[in-house]
Each structure stands twice: as C-alpha cells, then as structure tokens.
Structure 1
Amino acid sequence: MIILYLVTILLDCLHAVYLDEYDHQPKARGAPSSEEIEFEPVITLTKDNDKMISMKNINCDNFSEYAHNCTNEAALVYNSIKKSPPLPAKIYDWCKAIRHLTNCAIDWNSDCKDVTESHFNEESIRGHMHVVNNICNDESFLSRYDELPNCIEGSGSAWENCYSQFKITVDEQKNTTHEWTHYETHFFMCCARAKFVRCTMDALFNMPNVCPYEQAVTLQQFSAIVSEGDVFQNCDTNMMYSNCPGGDPRPKGDSLSRLMNKRAHNSSLRSESKIGVILLIFYFVCGLIK
C-alpha cells in the first residue's frame, strides 16, 4: 500500500510537467560500440592446441626482457595502482591492456617454442582470453557496466581487499610449480577462487545504498569472470570444498538469497521509521515541480 501511495503522489506531481520536460531530459550515456572502439584483436589458438597461428620476428634470447617490455607497453595503455575494477570510463583501456598482454604471450610461445624452454603458461593465456571474450567482447555486459561508477567507487575498497587476498594465495600456488593442474595446486587455487567469489558477494550485496541490486549483480558477474581468468580450471567437479583452509568457502544461503532475490537485497532499505521522512520528501518535491 505504501508503494502504491507513493506512486500515486508521483503521478499527480509529474503529470502536468511530464510532456514538456521529456524532450529536455539528458540521455543516458551508452557504452561505445565495437565499431567506435578500436581493439587489438586477440589471436586465438589453432585447433592444434600446441601451436599458435601468429608468427612474428622476436628475439627469443631474453624472455625476462620481453615479458618486461610487454608489461610496460600494457601499462602505457592502462596504468593503475588500484586492484579494484576499472571505472566504466577506463574499461576499454583495461581491455586493451589485457589484449596486448595476451597477444604478447601468444607471439612468444609461437615464435620461440623451438628456441627456448621459457614460455608463457597456456592456461594463463586461456584465462586472459576468457576475460576478453566474456567482458571486453560482450557489448551487452559493457552496456550494463557503464552504469556502475558509483557502485565501483563505493565498493572499491572492499572489493580490492577480497582480490588482494585471492591473488596472494593464487600467486603462491602458481609460483610453486609449472603444473597448475596438479591436484594439490588445483585444490588450493579453486578454494581461493570460491573464497573470492563469496567475499565479493558478501560485500556487494550488503550495501544496497551504494550498489542497487542490478548493479551488484553486474559487478558480481565481473568478479566471477575475473576469478575464472586467474584460475582457469574446472572447479565444479571432484572438489572437496569442505576441506578448504578455513572450511567451505562457497557462498552461504543468505548470500545466495540476496543474489537471487531482489527483495531480500533491498530489505535493509525498508523500515517504518523512514516512511514518514519519505512522504515528506515526496510532498516537498511536488511543491517544487508544480
């Protein structure tokens, strides 16, 4: 009844001015289309997974220098000391930097595979390509992401804390062996991925004033894709999550209910003490616009 009452007030207030004002309202800025943004295309793997289709002249004598140069070149495109998600105005630079790093790795592995044993991990390359395909190449997702500046800024610190802990654990595991699919390495990286997803979910869906439901869902989708890019493995089968350090890290029922239920997410915004204030604000706005 309260909602119906508020809607009635709004309709009464706005009816007289709606037609005159409509044409003067600023239009929401949509995400640029792929035609408007020039991206360096990511070179895909061939059907033979051991071979790449790119062939460029590369000095294969110094892997460290090559990797360092690739990193510096990407930093010229997108350079941020923050680990939080890029703001919508910077998402295209972020994507271009990831594409460049991915192509650098593919080029080296293609040209230098017969010259040196130093190479970029192909699982890491596929993880980067997963991020590019599911974020940077998805115009529908980018359009929704364009609505997130306030949500990203408001949740950035909490998101960055989640990601920092995730990266520490994953990098420790990756640095112990080149066989990232080894059972023990795979186990701890999947535990870290699940813990990160739960961490961001608990943060994003616990601040409805900062991240409205639809925006929280979009940013959580971004979080999941990024975590899958860092740990590009099948973490859905043969995983004993109950044995993870600290217990099962997967989201609990209350977190999942907020993700699946908009009403549950917004419930913290409702209280009887706020109704009177809201009504006064509506009447005040009516007085201004009539």
Structure 2
Amino acid sequence: MQADELDFQGRVAIVTGAGGGLGRQHALALARRGAKVLVNDLGGALDGSGGSVGAAQAVVNEIVAAGGEALANGASVTDFEAVQAMVQQAVDAWGRVDILVNNAGILRDKSFAKMDMSDFRLVIEVHLMGAANCCKAVWAQMQAQNYGRIVMTTSSSGLYGNFGQSNYGAAKLAQVGLMQTLAIEGAKYGIHVNALAPTAATRMTQGLLGEEALQALTPESVVPAMLVLAHASAPTRTILCAGAGSFEAAHITLTQGVHLGQGETVPEQLAEALPQVLDRTQEQVPQSGQAQSRLEVGKALQARALA
C-alpha cells in the first residue's frame, strides 16, 4: 500500500543552523514539499566564531532556483531580540510560523578534565538557550493560531554519553527535558514538540568516523524523521533516532522498583535490593513527571494497608 505523501503546502517553517549540513537538507526537503522556509544561519565556524549571512543566502538561492519560497536570516540563536526579529521576519512575509526546527549548534569538544568552563557554558548557550529562545519567540504565534510543530535536535551523546562531549551531551539531553514540558504545555494549543537524534556525516563528525561509515551516514538519510516530526500528522513527546536509513525511538523510562519504607537500615536494604530496583520488567514511559510520585505514593499506601 502506498503511504500518504507528507505534504507541507501552505506551511511556514524556520530552520536554524540551515546554512550547511543537516540543516540545509532539512530546509531543502521542507521547501521541496511545499513549505515556505526561513533559512537561519549565523554562518560561523564549527566552534561558533565568526558569522556571515552568505551560507543561509546560498541555501535560499537553491530553494528559489527550484521554484520554492525562502528567506535568509543571519541571527545568532543566543540573541533573543535577534531571534524575535527573525520570527517577525517570517510572519511579516508569510503571515504565520507553523514549524520550528531547532538545528543550530556548535562543538567545543574536550575531556571534562581539560575543558575550560567558558567552552562548557558557550555550548549550553547555543544548544539549550538557543533552542529555548527560538521556542519562546514562536510560542505566542503558535498558541494564537492553535497549531505548531517544534523539532528539537538532541543527540546520542546526550541520551547515552560520549567521551569528550560533556558540554554537548548536557545541552542535548537538556533539549529533551525542554521538549517534555513544552509538549505538555502546548497540547491544548495543538502544538506538538518532538526531538530528533540524528547520526549524520557533517562538519561536526569530520575526523570521527571511517570512510565507509561516512558514506552511509548522509545528512539526507536523517531528513525523513524530521519530516515526520514536523508534519501535521506528527506525534508529540517523541524522540526519534535516525541514521544511515535506519530509524529508532528512544525512551526515558521508570522501573517498577521496590518499596522499602523509612528507617535506619533502608540504605543497606536499598543496596541489597538494587538489582530489583534496576530490573526493567514492566518498566513504563511516564506521561509526565507526576508518574514517579504516583508510583511511589501508591506503593507507600499499599504497604501501609498491608501493615
């Protein structure tokens, strides 16, 4: 059976960090399927230094040459006023913003022992605060129109860790935390918020992977997951992983655990019961942070009733 085409006719999208690599492919794909795209890129180096609107304009030229509509923007996502102006640029041109793809990012890789805290802070500022700035700037618009699709860009480095990327990993997992709450708060306004964990060969992966792996991990192979998460039919609070044509879902889960009550010997009891606490049989994917307290209080009340 032929799947329904993911159509973006009439939609307006903002893609940050879209001057090259994965962001460029996101912008091109959305435009190819009918979206009007604001292409944002600071045009800086991989470490975030420098800046030029040239990279964004080059992508806009590609889209326009193919018959699409696009605008270039060179705002830094760390500058909230500039981000607000970026959103206004899209609204002034096209009347709305339907889709935000938070893709902008930098790397300042080093082992934690050798990392300067200014580099830690800058990576957090670009990835986390940059995403938060963009979400905040589109939020009222999406609420007013009762529709929005926001795609965060997380990473396996955040979900599972990676040597030399404590700053990047912390920022990327923080985007998942932001996604979880924004999805809850946006639900009644038709705003769906999801996260994409891409594995792709871009400027950020040069020197890290072998040639055969690089050939498989094309940025284009990640794009289908973004399109699914940005479409009208998108789920919400979903983490999709994508790379080399494969797609998976990541979940933050809660085990059933044990109830030990309170008392002087509970630390020792917990140490002994740790294998049971860690047992993933019947683990759940909580729908909100309240799931933990409900589970814990429920066990406590059950234990009290049996006492």
TM over 0.5: no
The two structures have a TM-score, normalised by structure 2, of 0.25
When Rg is computed on C-alpha atoms for both structures, the one with the higher figure is 1
Structure with the larger strand share: 2
The two structures have a TM-score, normalised by structure 1, of 0.26
Greater RCO structure (CA 8 Å; 6+ sep): 1
